[in-house]
A and B are shown apart, each in its own frame.
Chain A
Amino acid sequence: MERLGNKKRPLSKSILWLILIVMAVIQIFPLIWLLDFSLASSNELFTSGLLIIPQKIQWGNYAKAFIDGNYLIYLKNSLLINTLAVVIVVLVSMMAAFACRRMHWKLNVPVKTILLLGMMIPISATLLPNYKIYSMLHMTDTIWALLIPYVAFSLPQGFFLMGSFMESIPVELEEAAVIDGCGIYRILFSVIAPLLKSSIATISIMTFLNNWNEFMMAKTYLSSLKWKTLPFAILDFTGEYSSNYAVQFAVMALAAAPAVIVYLILNKHITKGLAMGAVKG
């Protein structure tokens, strides 16, 4: 089965290649620029070149970014909060989706609508009142201040996707399990869950992407070092007293690194998962 492309004249093909390469450059160049400047010293930045070849590669910038930027703490917090969020979202959405799609009860449509409503609500509108609520409950500056909203806002998406994927599981399997004498929870976790592997993967990736880089809520609800997440590495560093640009670039590169590295390694799976999610969604 030949694609039309192979029948094209070579000129058109090279034009296509050119377009693709230009796009790639547009997408990537700012990041290359970032890396390049992060290895220079601050006063070398004020040049007219597009890229600079630093006189001496300033690895010290990265050292400063790592230490003064409290990198490890932020990284640890980000990993902790995000992993917890993903686990909770998967569990809760699976349970809720199963209840709404498979269980027999009258209220499943209203409940489904309520749970999906979250997708239409802009997060920023809840920043203010949540801040007040968390202040009154002494929750600001704790892990809950982030975990609860992160889960709550990733839930509708997860719930929706779980539901869609569940549709494709034949009811016969559940009927067989019931005959075998399984309770609902056992059916859910032993029969259904294993078949939802790709959906779980998709939801995990989407939730992770949603929250890993989130910082508005983090900025509003957190202030002390203890629970700050990775985006703070940049936010904190660019305060009034950090007039060393090159180190700021290094901080940004460090902060972007984990996500980019993971993405490059798991690229195929991530893209496939997201694509499936996008189509079903």
Chain B
Amino acid sequence: MKRKLLATLLAVAMTATLLAGCTQKATTTTETTKPAAPATTQASQEATTKATDSAAPVTLKVFSNLPDRKTGQGLVEQTMIDNYMKENKNVTITVEALDDAAYKTKFKAYSIEGMPDVVSIWGQPSFLDEVLAAGVLAPLNEADYKDYGFISGSLDGFKKDGVLYGLPRNSDIAAFYYNAKMFEDNGWKVPATYDELIALADTINAKGIAPVAMDGGDGWPLAVYLSDIMVKMNGTYSDIVTNAITKGDFSDPLFKQATDLLAKTAKAGLFQTGYDTQDYATAKNLFINGQAAMFYMGSWEASMALDTTIDEAIRTNIKAFTMPAVADGKGTTSICAWNGGGYAVSASSEVKDEATKFLNYMFKPENLSKIGWENGVGMSAQDETAFMTGSETALQKQFLDFLKNASNTSGTTVNDRGASAFKTSIESEIQSVCNGTVTSDKFLAAIGAASK
């Protein structure tokens, strides 16, 4: 009797665990103390029935690629979210934040089902082409943003066939951050020409310090460097690159020249030992711990000047300079700058109105641009002259000047101008051409093949 009971109990227990799992989704969401993002669209469906009534509770799901909510761009984003919730008591905003690679993977899953309402995007072909082909983003009314102060040309990368699908969040400039105190102590001068940069590398190496900390493990910083060289050599490269990608043919002499120079630079020891497999954090660490004299990265790292976890001696002495002029280069006053990151609204969002309202709120110049500027985060894609507080970090002022004094900008870097297969290929092959395993010609042939 007892044994039969045991057997039936076991069977019941098994089915119970199975069933419990099905209802677990609903119950665990109410158990967590933070407003956790429900995995299903059930919650937002409840909200849509009352979405039109602005006083009714609305839940907005924001999907972000900034996992660090305490510093830099992530802090800016979180601040705006918190402010919006304060001003609109009926709106609850839940945030899911993943680092770039995980973000892009999850984005693909979401593109099949369940895309959050407001998402981070990149206004570059490598990301946007596939996304728009899948019809994932909601079109925006460009006229709405006439008075938002967007810098001319910054919206271009976010449009397709004349329709706007997203708004740019940053204006990024590629630059060499340098440890000004180290330079001063050693009597080093900021190089005015590329040859001086190479010569400086020898001097710095002799001291046992890495000249430039480079995130070669990720590939894209090297591609940015290559683009930087190209714009310095030629003034512009948009048409040449687009042409090459469409035809799958990189035989234009500009590519070979630039690649050769890059390979020569790597061979001359400008980058730290092991740069081709070290990641972003490792490279940045070398710089902020005084093991490298310079750090080649985008303007978003200008917030280093305000990062209290960095030693004060270094933090207060970070300055920047853009790629020095290349001999016989036509682009002496051009800089490598682009509008990459941005936000968009999901086409399948159930609360599109509120989502668009939030998007517009973020981009009101007094929000994203102002808060970003005050937190020392690079530059937005909007006119920020109104937000000069007078207490900008020297670094911020420098970047503003770079942009102001540039005759033209390069636009999206080479690696992001094609499909993602091209992006993966060039970001991997560029490591090989830099460390000498592959010749420039083979590199160009490989990326040509990948862009077909």
Complex interface: chain B residues within 8 A of A144 (CB): 21
Contact code string B1-15 (vs A, CB < 8 Å = 1, else 0): 001101100110010
Within 8 A of B (CB), among A225-247: 225-226, 236, 238-245
Chain B, interface SS category: helix
Interface size on A, residues (CB 8 A): 38
Given known A136-B113, A183-B4, contact A46–B281 (CB-CB < 8 A): no
A170 to B39, CA, bound (A): 50
A147 to B20, CA, bound (A): 13
Within 8 A of B (CB), among A139-160: 140-144, 147
Assess the A238–B39 pair: CB atoms within 8 A. Answer: no
Given known A223-B96, A224-B37, A239-B68, contact A135–B7 (CB-CB < 8 A): no
A201 to B291, CA, bound (A): 51
Contact code string B102-114 (vs A, CB < 8 Å = 1, else 0): 1001100100111
Closest CB-CB distance, B296 to chain A, in whole Å? 15
Closest CB-CB distance, B181 to chain A, in whole Å? 15
Within 8 A of B (CB), among A149-200: 182-183, 185-186, 189-190
A138 at the interface (CB under 8 A from B): yes
Complex interface: chain A residues within 8 A of B311 (CB): 43
Complex interface: chain A residues within 8 A of B72 (CB): 241
Contact code string B88-106 (vs A, CB < 8 Å = 1, else 0): 0000000010111010011
Chain A residue nearest in CB terms to B291: A46
Closest CB-CB distance, A73 to chain B, in whole Å? 10
Contact code string B55-73 (vs A, CB < 8 Å = 1, else 0): 0000000000001100110
Closest CB-CB distance, A144 to chain B, in whole Å? 6
Option from A46, A189, A219, A245 in Cβ contact (under 8 Å) with B6 = A189
Option from A135, A183, A190, A244 in Cβ contact (under 8 Å) with B309 = A244
Contact code string A77-92 (vs B, CB < 8 Å = 1, else 0): 0000000100010010
A160 to B436, CA, bound (A): 50
Given known A142-B39, A224-B96, A226-B28, contact A243–B112 (CB-CB < 8 A): no
Complex interface: chain B residues within 8 A of A182 (CB): 3
A223 to B72, CA, bound (A): 22
Complex interface: chain B residues within 8 A of A135 (CB): 109, 112-113
A243 to B311, CA, bound (A): 13
Given known A138-B39, A142-B25, contact A240–B109 (CB-CB < 8 A): no
A46-B289, A186-B6, A190-B7 known, 14 other contacts, Cβ within 8 Å: A42-B285, A43-B290, A91-B14, A135-B112, A138-B114, A140-B39, A186-B4, A190-B6, A223-B96, A223-B106, A224-B37, A226-B28, A241-B72, A244-B309
